């Protein structure tokens, strides 16, 4: 038995603090649980009578079945003691909906500590507090004080939400979309039971085929990612992360500013196999599309689109292209078959414009579905009195041969009839061209995530770079200041190219460095305490003569420079920022983005958790919006993805091997005709962050 079975699969339930007074939490819970087919005992210490017991022990003794779930409807001040009484009577899990704990300040924090101690001492599992509960429709288990949950249909979508309110919102929206719920839970304060544990429970939950995950914050990043990896190996997961406008308080460097918790959480979830969405509407669309069907792993699945009207079809096709989803041209054989069934004026290569559905529509569906380039079929149309799109798809024989998503628009009553027809035939249906497109994107994103998982596993198995050992960085001396020169020495030890340079204690040494290195050179202030030298005028570029060098040195001394760095100027190119840092939630991460001051403004970044293999690292560049700048734009340099991958992996492994280093940043990492060159480097130790 899973350790959450007592919560979601109880043999019996005891409601502590039950009430006969309408409007009270204890009354609402008792009413919601009335449909539960196994024993539900009501406890009220002040009102023990024929319908209510005076104590949990009395309720347990009188019950024909074990009461292994307690629903606590008591004030925060007595919740800790109530948990102990429940555990002493054999109760294994408890739901606490009430508030008034640490969020209310003192003495609420005292009450919360009492609850935490009770959980620790007794081993009872706790959901909440501050949640509106959970529901398992196929068990007729509705531990929620929201009356509407009684109307929720059984289905195959599990909702795991940070908020009890969002749990209910998503469940009701899924109901409107004709998609039932297998389980819905609001984590609430999450004092004990957390989202990762629920996700692990759902791995073997037979009724659940797809999971909708809502996150507001993450307490244990590695545990969450481990659970997502386990779940998505067998079931798709769609994630909505709240906090787009989070401003990080630990942004000492460009890397820190770019790696906000929202971006990092989304990137880490995607790397673990989740499909990402931006709002609750997209979340419902995505899980509806993935209900009961999943594409095979593929780097680039092809979508075949059949539309009854050209205009909506163009909207769908345009949205797919914008999302990078392939809508391949059908084979000559498929087009020949379709041409025999449609007027010559319609477009037939993909998307296929059928006009009003008529005779032979099922054969058109069959032709597109069987085309070698099509992995996923989408059928869209306005409702017609003479045609039933879901029924026509069923008649085609295509259902079951590949995933199919239906889109329908029309009067509400007609759409509902089509939805019922689709449901009876096991076909997911969405309303609206954009909704259909987003559902298709979710299916494709899931297929790509599965493909990446397989490719990553293969790459890890054969990649020596996935192993930290052997990089020559395990015994780094991290004490003392890390100025730019020392930071670049670390990069050199990792095999990362840096310009030729000299450390100069005085002006004479600087002039000798100019003579030795040859013009042009860059001259910089050397000071481990200054992370952004350009902000104070600490960098002078293109120095070509002794006179211009003296002017640069004068300027640097005026801002406090006591040491100088003189180094060879790099060739022109495209500047990137590459950083490895210890995220407070997910541990070591890598951030790649545009370099220079544009990095924080545009926030065009790719983020990965560490360790990672070279294949995963190489793909980071293709995630950037500005990736065309790296592909020889206007005869510029072309990025060698394998060279970038080696740098990324080694930088991440250096962080793994040296726990005293908090962050390593290269900004800029310049792409030149001769490859990648690190022009500036920052190393921040854990000691510096305190």
Residues 253, 324 share a domain: no
Residue 520 is assigned to a structural domain of this protein = yes
**End-of-domain residue from the set 278, 313, 343:** 278
Residues 241, 219 share a domain: yes
Residues 429, 308 share a domain: yes
Residue 602 is assigned to a structural domain of this protein = yes
pLDDT for 465? 45
The two most distant CA atoms of the chain are separated, in Å, by 101
Stated as kind and residue range, the H or E segment containing 59 is helix 56-62
Instruction: Tell me the two tokens of residue 437.
Output: 């497109």
- Domain extent, residue 397, equals 303-450
Residue 366 is assigned to a structural domain of this protein = yes
Strand-by-strand arrangement of the 303-307 sheet: 352-353, 303-307, 376-382, 404-409, 429-430
Structural domains counted in the chain: 5
DSSP 139: G
- Please tell me the distance from the alpha carbon of residue 346 to that of residue 356, in angstroms, as a whole number: 11
- Which residues are paired to 540 by β-bridges? 523
- Give per-residue pLDDT as tens, 327-353: 999 999 999 999 999 888 778 999 999
Q: How confident is the model at residue 65 (pLDDT cuts 50, 70, 90)?
A: very high
Residue 487 is assigned to a structural domain of this protein = no
Residue 334 is assigned to a structural domain of this protein = yes
**End-of-domain residue from the set 130, 163, 193:** 130
Work out the average pLDDT over 180-189: 96
Residue 495 is assigned to a structural domain of this protein = no
| Residues 593 and 601 sit within 8 Å (Cβ to Cβ) | no
Residue 627 is assigned to a structural domain of this protein = yes
> In this predicted model, which residue has the larger pLDDT, 582 or 253?
582
Among 109-113, 248-252, 602-606, 671-675, which is the least confidently predicted range? 248-252
Work out the average pLDDT over 495-503: 96
pLDDT for 474? 52
Place of tokens 């490859």: 675
pLDDT for 261? 85
Residues 253, 148 share a domain: yes
pLDDT for 457? 79
Work out the average pLDDT over 643-656: 94
Residues 240, 153 share a domain: yes
pLDDT of 473 strictly over 70: no
- Please tell me the distance from the alpha carbon of residue 178 to that of residue 6, in angstroms, as a whole number: 29
Residues 91, 32 share a domain: yes
Secondary structure string (H, E, C) spanning 539-598 = EEEEECCHHHHHHHHHHHHHCCCCCEEEEECCCCCEEEEEEEEEECCCEEEEEEEECCCH
- Give per-residue pLDDT as tens, 355-405: 776 778 999 999 999 999 999 999 999 987 656 889 999 999 998 899 999
Residues 112, 139 share a domain: no
> In this predicted model, which residue has the larger pLDDT, 274 or 45?
274
Q: How confident is the model at residue 252 (pLDDT cuts 50, 70, 90)?
A: very low
**End-of-domain residue from the set 537, 568, 599:** 568
pLDDT for 562? 93
- Give per-residue pLDDT as tens, 536-549: 999 999 999 999 99
- Please tell me the distance from the alpha carbon of residue 545 to that of residue 566, in angstroms, as a whole number: 13
Residues 231, 308 share a domain: no
How is 263-323 classified by DSSP, letter by letter? HHHHHHHHHHTPEEESSHHHHHHHHHHHTT--PPP-SSPBEEEEESSHHHHHHHHHHHHHT
Residues 59, 105 share a domain: yes
Residue 307 is assigned to a structural domain of this protein = yes
pLDDT of 643 strictly over 50: yes
Helices (H), strands (E): how many in the chain?
Answer: 24, 27
Among 153-167, 585-599, 623-637, which is the least confidently predicted range? 585-599
Find, among 503, 663, 638, 519, the residue nearest to 577 by Cα. Answer: 663
* CATH at 227: 3.40.50.261
* CATH at 125: 3.40.50.720
Work out the average pLDDT over 661-679: 95
pLDDT for 598? 61
Residues 264, 185 share a domain: yes
**Three-class SS state of 147:** helix
Q: What is the pTM of this model?
A: 0.92
- Give per-residue pLDDT as tens, 35-63: 999 999 999 987 756 689 999 999 999 99
Q: How confident is the model at residue 21 (pLDDT cuts 50, 70, 90)?
A: confident
Q: How confident is the model at residue 3 (pLDDT cuts 50, 70, 90)?
A: confident
Q: In whole numbers, what is the pLDDT of the chain averaged over residues?
A: 91
**Three-class SS state of 412:** helix
pLDDT for 690? 63
Residues 410, 317 share a domain: yes
Q: How many residues does the chain have?
A: 690
pLDDT for 402? 96
Q: Cα–chain-centroid distance for residue 158? A: 17
Residues 34, 116 share a domain: yes
The 10 Å Cβ neighbour count of residue 500 is 12
């Amino acid at each position: 038995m899973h350790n959450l079975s007592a919560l979601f699969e109880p043999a019996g339930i005891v409601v502590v603090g039950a009430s006969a007074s309408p409007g009270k939490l204890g009354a609402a819970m008792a009413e919601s649980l009335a449909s539960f087919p196994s024993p539900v005992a009501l406890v009220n210490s002040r009102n023990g009578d024929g319908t209510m017991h005076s104590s949990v022990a009395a309720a347990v003794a009188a019950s024909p079945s074990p009461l292994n779930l307690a629903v606590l409807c008591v004030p925060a001040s007595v919740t800790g003691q109530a948990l102990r009484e429940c555990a002493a009577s054999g109760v294994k899990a408890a739901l606490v909906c009430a508030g008034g704990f640490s969020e209310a300040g003192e003495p609420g924090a005292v009450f919360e500590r009492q609850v935490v101690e009770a959980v620790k001492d007794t081993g009872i599992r706790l959901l909440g507090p501050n949640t509106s509960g959970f529901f398992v429709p196929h068990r007729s288990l509705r531990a929620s004080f929201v009356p509407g949950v009684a109307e929720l249909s059984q289905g195959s979508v599990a909702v795991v939400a940070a908020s009890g309110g969002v749990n209910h919102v998503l469940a009701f929206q899924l109901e409107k979309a004709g998609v039932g719920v297998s389980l819905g839970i609001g984590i609430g304060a999450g004092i004990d039971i957390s989202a990762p544990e629920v996700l692990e429970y759902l791995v073997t939950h037979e009724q659940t085929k797809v999971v909708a995950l809502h996150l507001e914050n993450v307490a244990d990043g590695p545990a969450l990612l481990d659970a997502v990896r386990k779940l998505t190996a067998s079931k798709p997961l769609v994630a909505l992360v709240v906090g787009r406008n989070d401003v990080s308080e630990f942004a000492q460097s460009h890397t820190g500013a770019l790696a906000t918790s929202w971006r990092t959480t989304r990137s880490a979830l995607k790397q673990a196999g989740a499909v990402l969405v931006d709002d609750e509407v997209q979340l419902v669309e995505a899980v509806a599309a993935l209900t009961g069907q999943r594409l095979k792993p593929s780097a680039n699945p092809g979508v075949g689109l059949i539309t009854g009207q050209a205009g909506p079809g163009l909207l769908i096709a345009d949205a797919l292209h914008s999302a990078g989803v392939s809508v391949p041209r059908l084979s000559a054989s498929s087009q020949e078959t379709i041409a025999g069934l449609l007027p010559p004026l319609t477009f037939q290569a993909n998307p296929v414009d059928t006009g009003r559905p008529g005779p032979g529509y099922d054969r058109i569906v069959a032709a597109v579905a069987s085309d070698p380039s099509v992995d996923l079929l989408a059928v869209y149309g306005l409702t017609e009195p003479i045609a039933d799109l879901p029924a026509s798809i069923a008649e085609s024989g295509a259902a079951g041969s590949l995933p199919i998503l239906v889109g329908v628009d029309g009067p509400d009553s007609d759409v509902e009839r089509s939805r019922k027809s689709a449901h009876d035939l096991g076909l997911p249906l969405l309303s609206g061209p954009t909704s259909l497109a987003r559902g298709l994107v979710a299916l494709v994103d899931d297929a790509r995530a599965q493909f990446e998982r397989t490719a990553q596993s293969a790459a890890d198995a054969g990649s020596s770079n996935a192993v930290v050992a052997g990089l020559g960085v395990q015994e780094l001396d991290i004490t003392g200041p890390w100025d730019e020169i020392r930071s670049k020495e670390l990069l050199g030890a990792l095999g990362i190219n840096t310009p030729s340079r000299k450390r100069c204690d005085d002006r004479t040494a600087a002039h000798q460095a100019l003579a030795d290195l040859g013009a042009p050179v860059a001259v910089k202030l050397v000071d481990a305490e200054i992370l952004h030298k350009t902000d104070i005028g600490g960098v002078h570029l293109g120095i070509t003569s002794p006179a211009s060098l003296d002017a640069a040195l004068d300027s640097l001394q005026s801002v406090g420079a006591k040491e100088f760095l003189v180094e060879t100027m790099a060739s022109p190119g495209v500047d990137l920022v590459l950083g490895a840092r210890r995220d407070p939630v997910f541990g070591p991460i890598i951030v790649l983005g545009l370099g220079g001051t544009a990095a924080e403004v545009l926030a065009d970044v790719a983020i990965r958790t560490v360790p990672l293999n070279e294949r995963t690292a190489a793909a980071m560049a293709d995630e950037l919006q500005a990736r065309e700048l790296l592909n020889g734009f206007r005869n510029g340099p072309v990025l060698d993805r394998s060279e970038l991958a080696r740098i990324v992996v080694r930088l991440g492994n250096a962080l793994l091997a040296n726990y005293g280093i908090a962050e390593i940043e290269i900004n800029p990492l310049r792409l030149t005709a001769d490859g990648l060159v690190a022009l500036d480097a920052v190393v921040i130790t854990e000691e510096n962050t305190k």
